[in-house]
Structure 1
Amino acid sequence: MRLQILGSGSRGNAALLWADETVILIDAGLPIRTLTDRVEKAGIGFKGIDHVVVTHGHLDHSRSSGIMAKRHGATLHCAQRIQEHRSVSRAPEKRDLPINGSTTLEPRRGSEPVTLTTVKIPHDCDPTVAFRIEHGGRTLSFLSDMGEPREDAGRALAGAGLLVLESNYDDELLRGGPYPDALKARVRGAGGHLSNDQMAVMLTRLAGPDLHTVVLAHLSEKNNRPEIALRTARATLEQLGRKDVEVLVAEQDRPLSPILV
């Protein structure tokens, strides 16, 4: 498998996953023109996406999911609760995403199926899930929009070779930043996002022996800095004796290069 983050941040999130001949779009929160352009530049042509999977209903993750599924003839997998949302409803084929369960993403071409397991995580859009995706003996864990660290999520998502992990805000920058107090409380709360320090807690739980790459995702443009998040993650891995693990930061306006899982 290989993963390419197409964009990550408060203005929209999306990633492409190749599993042999099967192509999966993980979240589709970028505006449709931006997302279409980045998908095409990634080498995905007409009807090239097989499945669209959505972590939750907030628009920065679901905005273009229905129309992308329709254009590509893809199956859209999301929680039953959000299937009538305008952003999702255009998809001609929708399937319920099990919560704290597994489903099989069947290939349209002759490759092995992909196993997708969801793990419910705290966020103020219920339900929000993280993904554990397995194919060909490789595992990707994809965790974003989580209000607080959870041991059960750590257990369920541990063991991946590639980990995408939210590192949304720095506590000091958020406290002194431009957000109104109510929004600051929402970001810090159990229904909000992971801080850099909370990311470090989850990274400690998720850094198994097979881990080779961590991608820090959903960084706030106003309340975080890439160098702070990177420093926190690298210090955590050093404490774990895992200086060998590569750490990258996903960007809002520029896709990352594809990463092998």
Structure 2
Amino acid sequence: MDLNKELEKLRKVRKEGANKVFTMYLNTDPSDPDQQGGEWKIHLKNGLKNFEQYMQEDGNKEELKNYQQVKQKVEKFVKGNEQNFKKGIVLFATADEEVWFADRVQMPLKTEFYWEQTPVLDQLSKLAEEYPKSGIILVQQNEVKVIDAYLNEVEGTTTYELDLNTEDWREKLGPRNGLGTTGKGSTNLQVDNFRARFEENKHRWYKKIAPELDKRAKDNEWDKIYVVGEPDQAKELKDLLNKPVDELVQKNMLDHEESKVMEEIFV
């Protein structure tokens, strides 16, 4: 999903008369203290019922009919996705089906409901601004891991490893081999020798991988770039990239789960 394109389409929507646009932002985040008892169900039920009661009292039968059609679609979407909830649901709909946008998102939302001539886009616009297409580059000595992220979700990961014999970077498949770390497979002497070699050559080694990272940034249309690693390594790689880096996170997180890295970046 390209959220900016969806926003562009939604900004052009304007309805007249009884055929209005329904907007819903629903917080379904199970980690939210206010959601521990599934309170989203109560908020959804009350939010949908309030509009219906108002229209019944107002006596606008055509508008009520349109709203009830939308309500059925909303309830069907929520029920069909209940077992796969993320942090929230964003939904826009009209009875004539000219507008239908519904998605589960991994971003915090404030529960809100609207029935108006135009979709209410403030929260969605904020999400697009705060969670753009991003490249998170994690560096740890002779390994570089790249996370492609969009809307607070991982779209893909690639790990590059330096072949110490040829001094060429290659895409890495399979488990780590322990080179450049103090793992069980390395003696203290081997580790010390590697560290000395690394310090002597890191500028030249990182200069070799930098063009590949710049190309990836261009191909994947990253709006933001983050470099994460020990201060000297992260800064060295950052300075060798042609693409501007938005933030330097001086923390070794290459072995962390992607979700933990995302939490560190998008706080």
Question: Under a length normalisation based on structure 2, what TM-score does the superposition of the two structures give?
Answer: 0.26
